[in-house]
Amino acid sequence: MKSVTVKCPAKINLTLEIVNRREDGFHNIKSIMQMVDLYDTLTISVSENSHNEIILNGNSDEIPYNEKNLVYKAADLFFKESGIEGVKAEIFIDKKIPVAAGLAGGSTDAAGTFFALNEIFDRPLTKEKLHELCAGLGSDLNVCLEGGCVLATSRGEKIRRLKAASYPVTIIKPKNLGISAKEAYTKYSLKENKPKYNMTEKMLEALNLGEDITKYLYNDLEYAVYDDYKELQTIKDIYPDSIMSGSGSSYFVLRDIESALNNDYQIISGLKFIDNGVKIINN
């Protein structure tokens, strides 16, 4: 039996601007995404078997442990693309990243699965092929595989590494509210007025010059869902400099804070920007 442990970091969207809706139903975006040191940890063990078998377990009761999980889909796709047969893969998901929070928890776990299985089997797939598989499975996987600070375009799968900044991060998550990407993008599509602030380009210039980026934080999907949820309005009222990440419901501020919220909110403080994506921590 071979076993590895892979750390899968969360991402935040420093900017998220929607360019247009695509013919396939997805949206073209411009987004600067940044990985932070909040991790899910996957322990993946493989052994010989009469046929390929994938078994998932974990510590969260908020995610499925079957073929609906992106980790299962990633493992299944890896075996099909690599041609590897006769393997039982047992994967334990130690989940620390909040679910349905706009932090790419599912995506980073799937990217970590691709990466770890490729390492276990002595890299049968190139990095380019891994990125191709990531792009086929979801919009944020490529960012999580690459890591650091990334400009993501198209539906999020086209990426370019950026000059890194350095900020403390605090994440604020309503405990009883999750917002799906489908809901957020649908609500954005229904908005008659769609502001165009061009914050991504402004932040790119600030990053290149090493200037303060906090005044350019922006998210079109926050604009789409904000009016529908009192929980989001409460966060913004107390922390006016906070911005929603992804499709929410998490917000973040680029500073350390003293919590002024009640127990209906989860505060994850003491985080920082990191320059890596998924990574193995043992062999």
Residues carrying an active site annotation: 11, 140
Q: Minimal CA–CA distance to 77: which of 129, 139, 16?
A: 129
Question: CA-to-CA distance for 247 and 245, rounded, in angstroms?
Answer: 6
Contact 46, 55 (CB under 8 A): no
Tokens encoding 68: 């609906």
Report CA-CA distances (Å) from 246 to 15, 27, 32. 9, 13, 11
The three-class DSSP label of residue 42 is strand
Contact 152, 162 (CB under 8 A): no
Q: Which helix (H) or strand (E) holds 10?
A: strand 2-21
Contact 147, 134 (CB under 8 A): no
Task: Give residue 184's Cα distance to chain centre.
Answer: 16
Contact 113, 99 (CB under 8 A): no
Q: Minimal CA–CA distance to 91: which of 39, 44, 41?
A: 44
Question: CA-to-CA distance for 176 and 181, rounded, in angstroms?
Answer: 17
Question: CA-to-CA distance for 202 and 283, rounded, in angstroms?
Answer: 42
Contact 121, 75 (CB under 8 A): no
